[in-house]
Amino acid sequence: MVSRFAFFANLAFLAVAGLLVSVSPGRSVEGDGTVAVISDLHFDPFDPPELAATLAGSAPAAWSATFASVDNRAMSRSGQDTNHALLVSSLAAFAKRAADADFAIVPGDFLAHEFEEKAAKALNVAPTSQVVAEMTVKTTVFVADLLAEALAGKPAIVALGNNDSSCGDYRIEPGGRYLAATRETVRRLVGTARLDPDFDETYAAAGYYAARHPTVANGLIIVLNDILWSTKYRDACGTGGLAAAEAMFDWLRERLARQRAAGGRVWMVHHIPWGIDPYSTIEAPASSCPAKVVSFLQEPYASAFPALLAEYRDVLQASFSGHTHFDDYRLLIDRQGAAIGVDKVTPAISPIFGQNPGFQVFTYDRRSGAPKDFSTWYLANPGDAPHRADWRFEYTFTEAYGLPAYSPAAVETLWKATSADSARRSTYQRLYAVGRGTLDLDKLQAYACAIRHLDRPSFTACYCGTVQ
């Protein structure tokens, strides 16, 4: 009860103070639904570190009372992960925007970067200790509880991120204790009746599952734990990583085939975007441009995953990811060069990489399930006191880019505009960092190439002007 009271007391205060934006960038027509998307919360419970021992010794339901003793602290500033003040402010703003939403999507990363190291330092224990492992679970449950309260009973479709583990970054253990300990939390957020019958098996195995779409008839939401396919993944706490990665891919193929046979559609939720990592590519120390190109996923999945999605282009209707912390897109291209799908990369709440905290709200057709548009809200003053939180409406996709709808064709039009000096290119550069500066022109080519060129040879030709 303390947790619920503390959260909604904060929410009510912010609303009364006029800090929750009431701008409505557009009205839904009859038959439209909305889904709110929030990603990369990266909550750091060790800010301030003196609360760590109390938190470690208590249940997540008691944590809000502990944090109440330091609620006058400023929200996290740029370059930091999310502290309690920023988490509460973000979820209050999200609750306001999600009040009329059908459900929410969370593409991963509940836990702060270097969580195990921060926990070990704050608690004066080894990073591999049992108490640190318990803190990963408690923190996940705490954030999930606040999210559930913000959504007031609406379902939340949750994916795991690379930091969501008790073994370390990119080290989720298939069949391990973190998955076992968080399974009931995910079940509660999604809703038991909505989950496919094999949820217990697939989530415990590697953190993936399928759920019935909350509003779209014969719609399925597939949630992947694509950390298993990452170039950075290491099964450091187990031995089943390779088998689990293969099993998830086979399961995905079977689910897509089943949906096609049933005449249904699929929304996909995952953490890592498709294709190439432009940031790592720019920063890579390799001596030649082709050698610098870094894929998000390892082979065979870097090639097989987009190929499978292209094969089921008639089934895949929407895709949502996070991970990069910025506002971006990835196109799915068929062999004829046509744009047949789009993955929306959602901005982060954590401002650790320099963008403003932000989230997005999408409209979609409840009859067909097709996304139609989205809008972005962001915090303009991270680092300020929570009672001065300035959450603002930033833009609506169709209005900002002058396009008829959010769709693969529209994002391809946007992508084409990045190759020339144009209003759309400038808008993309400005919106990329969520209200905080612009994407540098000398980096734009790498990021623009990454939108459309998912495979290494195609990206290399775009970025380096040569083919491997």
- Which has the closest alpha carbon to 427: 416, 438, 442, 412? 438
| pLDDT tens-digit series, residues 412-431 | 999 999 999 999 999 999 99
**Burial class (CB within 10 angstroms; exposed 0-12, middle 13-18, buried 19+) of 445:** middle
Strand partners, 319: 268, 343
Report the pLDDT value the prediction gives residue 8, as an integer from 0 to 100. Answer: 43
Tokens representing 103 are: 């459900």
Report the pLDDT value the prediction gives residue 466, as an integer from 0 to 100. Answer: 63
Range 412-443 burial, b when 16+ CB lie within 10 A, else e: bbbbebbeeeeebbebbbbbbbbbbeebeeee
Q: What is the DSSP letter of 39?
A: B
Query: Starting at the edge strand that comes first in sequence, how are the strands of the sheet with 316-321 ordered?
Result: 209-212, 219-223, 265-269, 316-321, 339-345, 328-333
| pLDDT tens-digit series, residues 26-41 | 333 348 999 999 999 9
Report the pLDDT value the prediction gives residue 19, as an integer from 0 to 100. Answer: 40
Q: Give the C-alpha separation, 418 to 411, whole Å.
A: 11
| pLDDT tens-digit series, residues 213-254 | 999 999 999 999 999 999 999 999 999 999 999 999 999 999
DSSP readout, 302-321? HHHHHHHHHHTTTTEEEEEE
Residue type, 107: P
Flag whether pLDDT at 12 surpasses 80: no
Flag whether pLDDT at 7 surpasses 70: no
Report residue 22's pLDDT band, with 50, 70 and 90 as the boundaries. very low
| pLDDT tens-digit series, residues 406-417 | 999 999 999 999
User: To which H or E segment does residue 106 belong?
Assistant: strand 103-106
**Lowest-pLDDT choice from 16-20, 345-349, 367-371, 394-398:** 16-20
Mean pLDDT of the 145-163 span: 97
Flag whether pLDDT at 290 surpasses 80: yes
Whose structure tokens read 């022109």?
Answer: 441
- Which has the closest alpha carbon to 413: 309, 331, 349? 331
Strand partners, 378: 358, 392
Q: Give the C-alpha separation, 20 to 388, whole Å.
A: 10
Q: Give the C-alpha separation, 173 to 216, whole Å.
A: 33
Q: What is the DSSP letter of 432?
A: H
Report the pLDDT value the prediction gives residue 72, as an integer from 0 to 100. Answer: 75
Report the pLDDT value the prediction gives residue 9, as an integer from 0 to 100. Answer: 45
Q: Which has more confidence, 37 or 6?
A: 37
Residue type, 165: S
Flag whether pLDDT at 13 surpasses 50: no
Report the pLDDT value the prediction gives residue 468, as an integer from 0 to 100. Answer: 41
Mean pLDDT of the 163-178 span: 97
DSSP readout, 360-405? EEEEEETTT--EEEEEEEEES-TTS-GGG--EEEEEEHHHHHT-SS
Which ranges constitute the DSSP H helices of 196-240?
A: 199-206
Q: Give the C-alpha separation, 456 to 461, whole Å.
A: 9
Flag whether pLDDT at 5 surpasses 90: no
| pLDDT tens-digit series, residues 59-116 | 999 999 999 988 678 999 999 999 999 999 999 999 999 999 999 999 999 999 999 9
SS3 state of residue 91: helix
- To the nearest whole percent, how much of the chain has pLDDT over 70? 93
